[in-house]
Amino acid sequence: MEDEKITTYLQENAAKFEEDLKALLRIPSVSTEEKHKPDMLACAQEVVRQLHEAGIPKAEIMPTPGHPIVYAESEQLPTRPTILVYGHYDVQPEDPVEEWISPPFEPTIRDGKIYARGTSDDKGQFIIHIKAAKTLNDLKMMPVNLKFCLEGEEECGSPNLDNWIRAHADLLKSDVLVISDTTMYGPGKPSLLCGLRGLTYIEVEVKGGDVDMHSGMFGGAVPNPINELCRIIAALHDEKGRVTVPGFYDKVRPLSKEEHEEWLKLDFSEDEYLKMVGSKELCGEEGYNCIERRWARPCLDANGIWGGFTGEGAKTVIPARAYAKISCRLVPDQDDKEIAELLEKEIKRLASPAVEVKVTFHHGGPPWMTSPDDPVLRAANVAAQKAWKATPLRVREGGSIPIVSTFTSVLNVPAVLLGVGLEDEQIHAPNEHLSLENFHAGIAASVYLMQEIAALPEMKK
């Protein structure tokens, strides 16, 4: 009965929801470009308008040292659980604009997909929760308290969000964090993202002599910082593809039998993956398959290296210095700061006494993972199953969304990462789009998620 009401409402309002999405998409809220500052404000105002219209009267534009945050909350009833929704209303620049089939800020529907900058990342995703709120409010069936934190600086690295969250921890107090800013495992495959890798990123400088030297006159007798840097980087892996830094794996949570088996069932093709990557073979840590290596195992990569003569032709120099940028992807329960320290210590231990090594810490962030038994995951599972009529996949991602860790650790809440994007939707590229099927299923899923969370015995107040 209730479900039927919801289904009918969603059907009757589908066109309106698409129009509201288009209204957001028409505003070029490119956060990295100064000229779009008025558009950023206009976009925040449009978000506020839609929140108001969804029956959330307390919606406001809160300043930060950069672009403002839209914060909103419904009436907070003490008997209900509170869901905090995070999203971002800023978008990537549209360049190269000539490669767009339809203009980036004129939303256009083709083949069941809506094309415009920000469709998949993230306007078309966070809006589903506003429309779910409208649905439940209009139907007078809202079972939860809602809070929204929608920032305008995600595409420039969220420079102000961390501080803002810490400064507003009381305001943001909630029972569960919901984010839709990721992708589904594939079309028709709703996915619950249960883990993200963390990161630690360092820069290494190796100094040999005081100045560049002639390799003829000096070669063979003086330390060569490039050779030395290579020796250090090479020594950070063993022949089994494992990182040799002492203590590196100490806190790595072993992959559970359940996840291992569930991931084996994903129809992942190493051949297709290899084709996409374009290398001759895949590689990695012995004893793990390709998915496990990216989702559940830490790794170490040099991201940049430079030193000596890099122009055309030949110059016989032994440079004074060589440099590398090295990062580790981390998994629970590794600590990014601890790994950075272990790494620095090992690099310095490996270095020849003939050279000086300087290690600089760039940035990092902890890994994040939900417990597979977390009740909110159970709720999300039911919601996604109902919306997409398919068993949701429990997946992880190899990258990092640092803000997830900040939110969950500051607020001490579990998170549901319910992405409705698809991997090939060209985010950050021309012709970004979003499947309208997933857009509407997303709204339904958000409605059901609110209901399921409210129904959880663990959430009873």
Token output for 268: 């992942």
- Residue whose CB is less far from a second copy, 144 or 355: 355
d(CA 393, CA 50): 31
> Least Å distance between CB 16 and a second copy?
36
Our finding on whether 251 is near a second copy (CB under 8 A) is: no
90 noted as active-site residue: yes
Long-range contacts of 164-170 (CB under 8 A, 24+ apart): 164/62, 164/64, 164/69, 165/406, 165/407, 165/410, 165/411, 166/406, 166/410, 168/71, 169/410, 169/411
> What is the three-class DSSP state of 359?
strand
Our finding on whether 260 is near a second copy (CB under 8 A) is: no
Strand partners, 61: 70
> Least Å distance between CB 309 and a second copy?
4
> Least Å distance between CB 443 and a second copy?
27
Strand 415-418 with 176-179, pairing: parallel
> 211 Cβ partners below 8 Å, 6+ apart?
320
Our finding on whether 428 is near a second copy (CB under 8 A) is: no
> Least Å distance between CB 231 and a second copy?
4
Place of tokens 């929801």: 17
Our finding on whether 213 is near a second copy (CB under 8 A) is: yes
Q: Which of residues 85-114 bind a second copy (CB under 8 A)?
A: none
> Least Å distance between CB 408 and a second copy?
18
d(CA 210, CA 376): 59
> Least Å distance between CB 93 and a second copy?
17
> Least Å distance between CB 444 and a second copy?
28
Q: Is the dihedral of CA 162, 166, 171, 177 positive or negative?
A: positive
Strand 198-207 with 393-397, pairing: unpaired
Q: Which of residues 219-238 bind a second copy (CB under 8 A)?
A: 219-224, 226-227, 229-231, 233-235, 237
Our finding on whether 135 is near a second copy (CB under 8 A) is: no
Our finding on whether 206 is near a second copy (CB under 8 A) is: no
- Residue whose CB is less far from a second copy, 39 or 292: 292
- Residue whose CB is less far from a second copy, 77 or 277: 277
Q: Which of 214, 240, 337, 349 binds a second copy (CB under 8 A)?
A: 214
- Residue whose CB is less far from a second copy, 74 or 327: 327
d(CA 175, CA 230): 48
122 noted as active-site residue: no
> Least Å distance between CB 236 and a second copy?
8
d(CA 426, CA 94): 11
Our finding on whether 452 is near a second copy (CB under 8 A) is: no
Our finding on whether 264 is near a second copy (CB under 8 A) is: no
Our finding on whether 188 is near a second copy (CB under 8 A) is: no
Long-range contacts of 287-294 (CB under 8 A, 24+ apart): 287/240, 288/255, 289/263, 289/264, 291/263, 291/266, 292/255, 292/260, 292/263, 294/398
- Residue whose CB is less far from a second copy, 109 or 235: 235
Please choose, out of 1-9, 96-104, 133-141, 275-283, the segment that lies near a second copy by the rule CB under 8 A.
275-283
Token output for 86: 């995070």
Q: Which of 34, 111, 210, 373 binds a second copy (CB under 8 A)?
A: 210
Q: Choosing from 18, 90, 153, 397, which is the catalytic residue?
A: 90
Our finding on whether 455 is near a second copy (CB under 8 A) is: no
* HSE of 265, CA atoms in CB hemisphere, 13 A: 11
Per-residue binder mask for a second copy (CB under 8 A), 301-340, x = binder: xxxxxxxxxx--xxxxxxxx-xxxx-x-x-----------
Q: Choosing from 20, 122, 154, 452, which is the catalytic residue?
A: 154
d(CA 436, CA 422): 11
Q: Which helix (DSSP H) or strand (DSSP E) does residue 339 occupy?
A: helix 336-350
Task: Please check whether residue 422 is in contact with residue 186, taking contact to mean a CB–CB distance below 8 angstroms.
Answer: yes
Our finding on whether 426 is near a second copy (CB under 8 A) is: no
Q: Which of 91, 199, 245, 427 binds a second copy (CB under 8 A)?
A: 199
Q: Which of residues 277-296 bind a second copy (CB under 8 A)?
A: 277-285, 290, 293-294
- Residue whose CB is less far from a second copy, 57 or 287: 287
Task: Please check whether residue 223 is in contact with residue 321, taking contact to mean a CB–CB distance below 8 angstroms.
Answer: no
Residues binding a second copy: what is the number (CB under 8 A)? Answer: 81
Strand partners, 364: 200
d(CA 91, CA 25): 9
Q: Which of residues 369-408 bind a second copy (CB under 8 A)?
A: 397-400
Per-residue binder mask for a second copy (CB under 8 A), 350-369, x = binder: --xxxxx-----xx------
Straight-line distance from the first to the last Cα atom of the chain, in angstroms, rounded to the nearest whole number: 26
Q: Which residues are catalytic?
A: 90, 154
